[in-house]
Amino acid sequence: MTRASNTDLRRAQITAALRRVMARNGYDRASISDIAAEAGLTQGLVHYHFKSKLEILVAVLLDLAASQDRDLDQLLAASPDNPAAQLAAIIDLHLATGRTADPDALACWVTLSAEAIRTEEIRLVYQSVTSSLVHRLVSVIQAGVKQKVFRTATPDAAAAAIAASIQGYFVLAATNRAAIPRGSASSCVRSMVAGLLHLQRPLPTRRLRR
Amino acid sequence: MTRASNTDLRRAQITAALRRVMARNGYDRASISDIAAEAGLTQGLVHYHFKSKLEILVAVLLDLAASQDRDLDQLLAASPDNPAAQLAAIIDLHLATGRTADPDALACWVTLSAEAIRTEEIRLVYQSVTSSLVHRLVSVIQAGVKQKVFRTATPDAAAAAIAASIQGYFVLAATNRAAIPRGSASSCVRSMVAGLLHLQRPLPTRRLRR
Amino acid sequence: MTRASNTDLRRAQITAALRRVMARNGYDRASISDIAAEAGLTQGLVHYHFKSKLEILVAVLLDLAASQDRDLDQLLAASPDNPAAQLAAIIDLHLATGRTADPDALACWVTLSAEAIRTEEIRLVYQSVTSSLVHRLVSVIQAGVKQKVFRTATPDAAAAAIAASIQGYFVLAATNRAAIPRGSASSCVRSMVAGLLHLQRPLPTRRLRR
Amino acid sequence: MTRASNTDLRRAQITAALRRVMARNGYDRASISDIAAEAGLTQGLVHYHFKSKLEILVAVLLDLAASQDRDLDQLLAASPDNPAAQLAAIIDLHLATGRTADPDALACWVTLSAEAIRTEEIRLVYQSVTSSLVHRLVSVIQAGVKQKVFRTATPDAAAAAIAASIQGYFVLAATNRAAIPRGSASSCVRSMVAGLLHLQRPLPTRRLRR
DNA sequence: GATGAATGAGCATTCATTCAT
DNA sequence: GATGAATGAATGCTCATTCAT
């Protein structure tokens, strides 16, 4: 009959707050007191739930990683044995209109990328996120090659290229939105994939559920 | 009577120092005293030549902008009336081995991208750099379309896609180098461009000088 | 659960410390670290209780304002319907021996005057202090005129003149004490007021309590 | 045949510049580079002509002292053997409309008063200025007493009171101009002097040249 | 769990002064 | 005389972190 712990709720409030503050100000300029204010908590409480500021950032990143893995799992399971549809779905997951439209998420991700460069702990988690995407792309591509719908001698390189294109759109969208014709990201990546994997037919287009 | 000015030298020393320190620690954690030490100068002197820390960052970015424009100008002039060669040269300029191999330059650029998100002054210059690349790509693509070597209804979107791929490789190389098979970036982007612009023949490969 | 606040105590310690340091060194040369040391606190704590150095100065001034208003209220209430006694009391409040004898208070006030010239926020509070004195003088003078113990066509001007004389003694006492024969301030202002308000009899002398 | 020294000109430029900058920002916030810019000179040159910042302030004060002495000499000589006229002239010199109307001069003087409190070197010169005024007032008052146009047992105290009133108007005018009815300063001090020195007739009014 | 006071190191920036040219 | 680069100490302020309550 001890009082129910609200630790999970608090941690979620705090990571969400960091995401928002970081989108506005970056990680270094996101002070604990900013984060606390954004979460509607006090400074001391933030440190009660997280040992350090860096730990909050790690938690944010782990959330994103889990969320991406969940999404990819679901999406691959939706079109089993259909590499083309799976590939299209992965692209849409990241670039379909509405995705890249959330400036906070974009800003947060680009900020994390920059942070990954200098903080070992962040880099490792960040790499697990990008590697996870790349590995799944490799599997899909290999399956497609086996089915002769894709043709490439270097699935690793192709997967990296697709991941890079997605990342690149994130950066461009976050920093110079006007340079990207509205709605062009997803379809351009499909065309690029067609060249990359020597497709005979374009990747299928599916309706996005929201 | 008057004393010879060494401002240009000093400013160059200081911006170079910021580039190095920023590659290691990011902009916020690049303290003026770090920069001064890296440049072999005193803190006070840094502020004598730059009004503020932000001004140093702007100077770094303006240098990169000027350097990119110079390179692009030279490169486009080298293959007049040959859009395919020009396009290949632009890709190689950014992605040929040796380019993406300089981790400091990559880290510096990714850091600037993140900074562009939150600092108006940086964003404007940063956008001028990316827009400059995009605009040149648009011109080259339009020329290629006119010559019927490229086919696309949306040169703007295609140019953005190419620029995004390049940016994406920068981020990936800076954060998760192992995910990119060595030397694959440039050739993969060529394949992607082939799909994007419906090329009949692959983009030409040229020997890199330098 | 919550923790008792000692903010009021700390703020009082800090404003008192600024008063002392400022009397010695002026406002600009009263560094936060001086103030903290004088208050027996750490620098960080000073900024925990005051957002900025200016805010401490404002607090000092508001204290003086409240204190003057309290004194004037009490003093006017002590001699209701007796403008001559009230006027004498106001003069004594500011100039009786013992008042002008506290060099720290004088120095602090003169410093505030100078600061009022250049800092909007200080000027506004400072003006409210002087205006408060002037307005009370105007009321007293008008009452005296009505009772025919004073005669003047311009109570505003007379009030300003009295306030100016008081201020002037403050400055002179703070900067050139030797120029003022000991104990002469109060009685000279009484004589001047007699001329200013065409008194038939001199202002009453009362025993100072305290 | 050496090049004519322009030291005097330069020193005058610099002290004038300090006066203006100080009126705006106070002494501590008047940086050498502000002063240099205001004077249209370079920072180095300022230090060529003055060993230190304090020395410039001393020079400003010595200028004011010399100027006041010159004015007082001239004015006393204009009405020999007429203490009432001399006294009126002294009051007008400081308070006649147009005098207190120069906000820069007022601000500068009040700033000097505050500075005199804490800097020995300034205090000494400042005191010589106020004492010089007081001594002349004492002489005039004594002459008037001898001629039976004034009556007071304490010429020193009376002189201090007059000087204080003048100083007080300076402070009030600099900090709370609105509290002083336009043009009232000079006439109110005359009335006060009438009370202070038991005049039978008001002090003479003279037409101001200029 | 929660609060908010307290700490102390670190930061960008200012500035009087010196000095080589 | 004059310039402007250079210095180094000082300043107000921020902030992650600790801790008593």
Instruction: State whether D161 and C192 contact (CB < 8 Å).
Output: yes
Instruction: State whether A180 and B157 contact (CB < 8 Å).
Output: yes
Instruction: State whether D193 and C191 contact (CB < 8 Å).
Output: no
Give the 3-state secondary structure of chain D: CCCCCCHHHHHHHHHHHHHHHHHHHCCCCCCHHHHHHHHCCCHHHHHHHCCCHHHHHHHHHHHHHHHHHHHHHHHHHHCCCCHHHHHHHHHHHHHCCCCCCCHHHHHHHHHHHHHHHHCHHHHHHHHHHHHHHHHHHHHHHHHHHHCCCCCCCCHHHHHHHHHHHHHHHHHHHHHCHHHCCCCHHHHHHHHHHHHHCCCCCCCCCCCCCC
From chain A, pick out residues whose CB is under 8 angstroms from the CB of B110. 113-114, 117
Partner residue opposite B117 with nearest CB, options A123, A168, A174 = A174
pLDDT tens digit string along C66-113?
Answer: 999 999 999 999 999 999 999 999 999 999 987 777 889 999 999 999
Q: What is the pLDDT of residue D202?
A: 86
Q: Which chains touch B (3 or more CB pairs under 8 A)?
A: A
Residue C209: pLDDT band (50, 70, 90) is: very low
Q: Is D15 exposed, middle or buried (0-12, 13-18, 19+ CB in 10 A)?
A: buried
pLDDT tens digit string along B165-209?
Answer: 999 999 999 999 999 999 999 999 999 999 999 998 889 886 544
Q: How far is Cα D37 from Cα C17, in angstroms, rounded to an integer? A: 36
In 3D space, the residue among C65, C172, C157 whose CA is nearest the CA of residue D110 turns out to be C172
From chain D, pick out residues whose CB is under 8 angstroms from the CB of C169. 164, 168
Mutation target among B176, B187, B189 for the A interface, most CBs of A within 10 A:
B176
B100-104, long-range: CB within 8 Å, 24+ apart, which pairs? B100/B169, B100/B170, B100/B173, B100/B185, B103/B23, B103/B174, B103/B177, B104/B19, B104/B20, B104/B23
Provide mean pLDDT across the span B8-26.
97
The CA–C1' separation of D10 and F5, in angstroms, is 23
From chain A, pick out residues whose CB is under 8 angstroms from the CB of B175. 113, 116-117, 123, 126-127, 130
In 3D space, the residue among A204, A165, A34, A54 whose CA is nearest the CA of residue A115 turns out to be A54
Residue C210: pLDDT band (50, 70, 90) is: very low
DSSP-based three-state secondary structure for C112? helix
pLDDT tens digit string along B68-83?
Answer: 999 999 999 999 999 9
DSSP code string of chain B: ------HHHHHHHHHHHHHHHHHHHTTTT--HHHHHHHHT--HHHHHHH-SSHHHHHHHHHHHHHHHHHHHHHHHHHHSTT-HHHHHHHHHHHHHSTTTTT-HHHHHHHHHHHHHHHH-HHHHHHHHHHHHHHHHHHHHHHHHHHHTTSS--S-HHHHHHHHHHHHHHHHHHHHH-GGGS-TTHHHHHHHHHHHHHTT-SSPPPP-PPP-
Which residues from 18-57 of B have any strand E atom under 7 Å from their CB? 29-34, 43-44, 47-48, 51-54
Provide the CA A25 distance to its chain's centre, in angstroms.
20
Q: Which amino acid is at D111?
A: T
Q: What is the pLDDT of residue C2?
A: 74
Q: Which chains touch A (3 or more CB pairs under 8 A)?
A: B
Q: What is the pLDDT of residue B99?
A: 73
From chain D, pick out residues whose CB is under 8 angstroms from the CB of C168. 163-171
pTM: 0.94
Provide mean pLDDT across the span C144-169.
97
Q: How far is Cα D106 from Cα C196, in angstroms, rounded to an integer? A: 25
Q: What is the pLDDT of residue A1?
A: 43
The CA–C1' separation of A124 and F19, in angstroms, is 33
pLDDT tens digit string along D14-72?
Answer: 999 999 999 999 999 999 999 999 999 999 999 999 999 999 999 999 999 999 999 99
Q: What is the pLDDT of residue A208?
A: 47
Q: What is the pLDDT of residue C206?
A: 65
Answer yes or no: are the C-beta atoms of C196 and C161 closer than 8 Å.
Answer: yes
Q: Which residue of A has its CA nearest to B161?
A: A188
Q: Which residues of chain A have pLDDT under 50?
A: 1, 208-210
Instruction: State whether B161 and A156 contact (CB < 8 Å).
Output: no
Q: Which domains does chain C have, with CATH numbers?
A: 1-50 (1.10.10.60), 58-196 (1.10.357.10)
Which residue minimizes Cα–C1' distance to E21?
Answer: B3
From chain C, pick out residues whose CB is under 8 angstroms from the CB of D172. 130, 160, 163-164, 167
Q: Which residue of C has its CA nearest to D134?
A: C179
Provide mean pLDDT across the span D126-143.
98
pLDDT tens digit string along A93-147?
Answer: 999 887 777 889 999 999 999 999 999 999 999 999 999 999 999 999 999 999 9
Residue D210: pLDDT band (50, 70, 90) is: very low
Asked whether residue D187, judged by its CB, lies under 7 Å from any atom of the DNA or RNA strand E, the reply is no
Q: What is the pLDDT of residue D3?
A: 58
pLDDT tens digit string along C114-145?
Answer: 999 999 999 999 999 999 999 999 999 999 99
Partner residue opposite A171 with nearest CB, options B171, B189, B193 = B171
Tell whether the model's pLDDT for residue D208 goes beyond 70: no
In 3D space, the residue among C8, C140, C117, C133 whose CA is nearest the CA of residue C64 turns out to be C133
The CA–C1' separation of B48 and F2, in angstroms, is 19
Provide mean pLDDT across the span D108-112.
97
Range with the poorest average pLDDT among B2-16, B43-57, D113-127: B2-16
Answer yes or no: are the C-beta atoms of D192 and C161 closer than 8 Å.
Answer: yes
At a CB cut-off of 8 Å and minimum separation 6, what does C203 contact?
A: C84, C85, C87, C88, C91, C190, C193, C194
φ and ψ of B114, to 5 deg: -65, -40
Residue C26: Cβ within 10 Å count: 23
Instruction: State whether C24 and D118 contact (CB < 8 Å).
Output: yes
Q: How far is Cα C50 from Cα C44, in angstroms, rounded to an integer? A: 10
Residue D201: pLDDT band (50, 70, 90) is: confident
Instruction: State whether C26 and D28 contact (CB < 8 Å).
Output: yes
Distance from CA of D58 to the nearest CA of C (A): 16
Provide the CA B110 distance to its chain's centre, in angstroms.
10
The CA–C1' separation of C35 and E8, in angstroms, is 17
Instruction: State whether A175 and B126 contact (CB < 8 Å).
Output: yes
Terminal CA-to-CA distance of chain B, rounded, Å?
45
Q: What is the pLDDT of residue A102?
A: 86
Asked whether residue A45, judged by its CB, lies under 7 Å from any atom of the DNA or RNA strand E, the reply is yes
Answer yes or no: are the C-beta atoms of A102 and A95 closer than 8 Å.
Answer: no
Q: Which chains touch C (3 or more CB pairs under 8 A)?
A: D
Mutation target among D54, D91, D135, D165 for the C interface, most CBs of C within 10 A:
D165
Q: What is the pLDDT of residue A146?
A: 97
Q: Which nucleotide is nearest to B47 (CA to C1')?
A: E13
C and D: number of Cβ contacts within 8 A? 194
Tell whether the model's pLDDT for residue B1 goes beyond 80: no
Q: How far is Cα D107 from Cα D19, in angstroms, rounded to an integer? A: 9
Which residues from 31-60 of D have any strand E atom under 7 Å from their CB? 31-34, 43-44, 47-48, 51-54
Partner residue opposite C195 with nearest CB, options D111, D184, D191 = D191
Q: How far is Cα D158 from Cα C184, in angstroms, rounded to an integer? A: 8
Q: How far is Cα B209 from Cα B32, in angstroms, rounded to an integer? A: 37
From chain A, pick out residues whose CB is under 8 angstroms from the CB of B188. 157-158, 160-161, 196
pLDDT tens digit string along B126-162?
Answer: 999 999 999 999 999 999 999 999 999 999 999 999 9
Provide mean pLDDT across the span D97-118.
90
Instruction: State whether D172 and C165 contact (CB < 8 Å).
Output: no
